[in-house]
Structure 1
Amino acid sequence: MKQYEVYRHIRRRALIFGLPVSFFALQMLAVIGSLMAVIFSFNLILLIGAVAANGILYGLLLKLTQQSGLLQMRTVFPNIISNKKITLNEKYDEPS
């Protein structure tokens, strides 16, 4: 009898072919665009180029998914949260 594992990682991102949903949508747009280009102007070199370009894009998107730090430009939350009054002249501030 086949056993199924209970999905306990509900907070993880949804992945399709190893890509997040937004990257998968970008990949599908590229595939559909290359298919339209091949269908409307059939050329063997264009077919090989489209397959290569889609393969390179897929590899690049997988690499970006694995190294998520490459896409993060800044931190979302500050390192410290303070109620201290911010003034231009720091030497007259009262210590808290």
Structure 2
Amino acid sequence: MKKFEIYKNIRKQAIIFGLPISLFALIMVSILASLLVIIFSFSFGMIIGALVFNAALYVALTRITHNPQIFQTSKAFPKIISNKRNSGIYYVQD
């Protein structure tokens, strides 16, 4: 008999097929678009291309979900942390 793990972090973020709701919606739109392309272009290459594209998109989105540091371009903390108020007046000319 199979055991199913209970997903207890539903308040944190809902997950469907390992993706958050917004990314799951993106992949569903991609699948619907590829189905329309397949219906209107009876080509075997187009069918294989759509399947490969959807599979690659799913793999890429799950990788991005599990490792969000891939697209982080800025540093997490500033170089200088100070409690002084910034008045916006610079006393030294550039």
TM-score (norm 2): 0.72
Q: 1:11-90 maps to which residues of 2 (within 5 A)?
A: 11-74=11-74, 80=81, 82=83, 84-87=84-87, 88-89=90-91
Q: Which amino acid aligns with 1:22?
A: S
Sort the Cα spacing of 1:6 and 1:34 in 2 relative to 1 into closer, same or farther, 3 A: closer
Q: May I ask how many residue pairs the two structures share in their alignment?
A: 87
Query: Structure 1 stretches of 5 or more lacking a match?
Result: 91-96
State how far apart, in whole Å, the 1-side matches of 2:63 and 2:7 are. Answer: 25
Deviates more, 1:64-73 or 1:44-53: 64-73
5+ residue gaps, structure 2, are none
Percent identical pairs in the alignment equals 40
Larger Rg: 1
Aligned-partner Cα distance in 2 for 1:59–1:6: 24
What is the distance in 2 between the residues matched to 1:20 and 1:52?
A: 22
Task: Give CA deviations for 1:29-67 in whole Å, capped at 9, x if unaligned.
Answer: 110010000001111111011001000000000000010
